[in-house]
């Protein structure tokens, strides 16, 4: 393991740019995204010209694993972060709460990866979880939050012996019900905004729910990026990340 204060390279893997847009606007990333290939896939990497690189791999486990493997192969980071949105598995967890879980569990096989920092448990599930599925996941894994990508990033890091950490911001509370979103995600993990907009336009009874989802996403992104902006220098120095407050980080 690295020693405190030892220099390291940080890789950040998110699903979508909208999850980390405030970070990209605030940080002095070097020019435009760099397009590079790994295997048969192309990726857009944001580089800061120093010790941090960010890639948005897409929604779901397979795109996240591909992005993590690409950033590891092309940039040789010392530590890799899975960042982005998550759903609450407990009624008391609110939109904008930021978690750094100590354990990540893959719901498909029960495999677990532990982190050296943080507390609580995140479970990665194959789809956007309904309230009923959230209750089952909470009971089965004693977890506080659910996402779709962290376990895949953790496995890529574990395979290369790289330190893994996750930071997730709550975008949907325990009882929030989504429209069926899987049909609007392609095989590369890209969200098909045009198709979703056409679907929503013809269903006015969903407009309030979609508006709420957008508000929640903005709040989650702002809180997540506040944490990342505060912590990025400590990440690069390989020092423990600060907690910005009990209301924001768990």
Q: Which domains does the chain have, with CATH numbers?
A: 10-236 (3.40.50.1580)
Q: Could you tell me which residue, 6 or 226, shows the higher pLDDT?
A: 226
pLDDT reported for residue 211: 84
Query: d(Cα 69, Cα 76) in Å, to the nearest integer?
Result: 10
φ and ψ of 3, to 5 deg: -90, 150
Left, alpha or beta for 127 (phi > 0: left; psi -120 to 50: alpha)? beta
What is the DSSP secondary structure assignment for residue 78, as one 8-state letter?
A: S
Q: Is a pLDDT exceeding 50 seen at residue 7?
A: no
CA angle 14, 15, 18 (to 5 degrees): 85
Cα–Cα distance for residue pair 226/23, rounded to 1 Å = 8
Give the model's pLDDT for residue 30.
Answer: 65
- What is the distance between the alpha carbons of residues 149 and 82, in angstroms, rounded to a whole number? 8
Percent of the chain topping pLDDT 70: 85
Q: Taking a C-beta distance cutoff of 8 angstroms, is the pair 160, 75 a contact?
A: no
For the chain, percent of residues with pLDDT exceeding 90? 56
- Say which range, 18-22, 149-153, 181-185, 220-224, has the weakest mean pLDDT: 181-185
**Residue 83 near residue 14 (C-beta atoms within 8 A):** yes
* Alpha-carbon distance values, 176 to 170, 207, 214 (Å): 11, 15, 13
pLDDT tens digits, 151-161: 999 999 999 99
Pick the closest to residue 88 from 10, 168, 22 (CA basis).
168
pLDDT at 244: 43
Per residue in 104-136, pLDDT (tens digit) is: 999 999 999 998 788 999 999 998 889 999 999
pTM for this model (two decimals): 0.85
Whether 6 has a pLDDT exceeding 70, the answer reads no
Kindly state the average pLDDT of the residues 141-162. Answer: 95
CA-based nearest residue to 246, from 85, 89, 120, 134: 120
pLDDT at 74: 93
For residue 185, the 8-state DSSP code is B
The answer on pLDDT for 49 being more than 80 is no
Residue 221, exposed/middle/buried by CB under 10 A (0-12, 13-18, 19+)? buried
Residue 189 DSSP code: S
């Amino acid at each position: 393991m690295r020693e405190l204060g030892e220099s390291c390279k940080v890789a950040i893997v998110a699903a979508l740019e909208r999850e980390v847009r405030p970070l990209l606007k605030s940080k002095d990333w070097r020019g435009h995204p760099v397009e590079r290939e790994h295997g048969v896939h192309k990726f857009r990497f944001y580089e800061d010209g120093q010790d941090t690189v960010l890639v948005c791999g897409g929604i779901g486990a397979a795109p996240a694993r591909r992005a993590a493997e690409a950033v590891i192969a092309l940039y040789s980071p010392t530590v890799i972060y899975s960042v982005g949105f998550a759903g609450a598995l407990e009624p008391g967890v609110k939109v904008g709460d930021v978690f750094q879980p100590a354990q990540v569990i893959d719901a498909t096989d029960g495999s677990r990866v532990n982190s050296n920092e943080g507390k609580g448990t995140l479970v990665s599930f194959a789809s956007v979880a309904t309230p009923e599925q959230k209750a089952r996941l909470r009971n089965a894994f004693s977890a506080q939050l659910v996402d779709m990508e962290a376990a895949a990033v953790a496995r890529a890091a574990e395979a290369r012996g790289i330190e893994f950490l996750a930071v997730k911001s709550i975008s949907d509370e325990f009882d929030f019900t989504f429209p069926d979103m899987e049909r609007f995600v392609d095989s590369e993990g890209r969200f098909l905004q045009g198709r979703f907009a056409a679907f929503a336009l013809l269903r006015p009874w969903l407009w309030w729910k979609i508006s709420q989802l957008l508000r929640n996403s903005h709040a989650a992104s702002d809180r997540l990026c506040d944490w990342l902006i505060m912590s990025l220098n400590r990440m690069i120095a390989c020092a423990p990340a600060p907690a910005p407050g009990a209301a924001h980080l768990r």
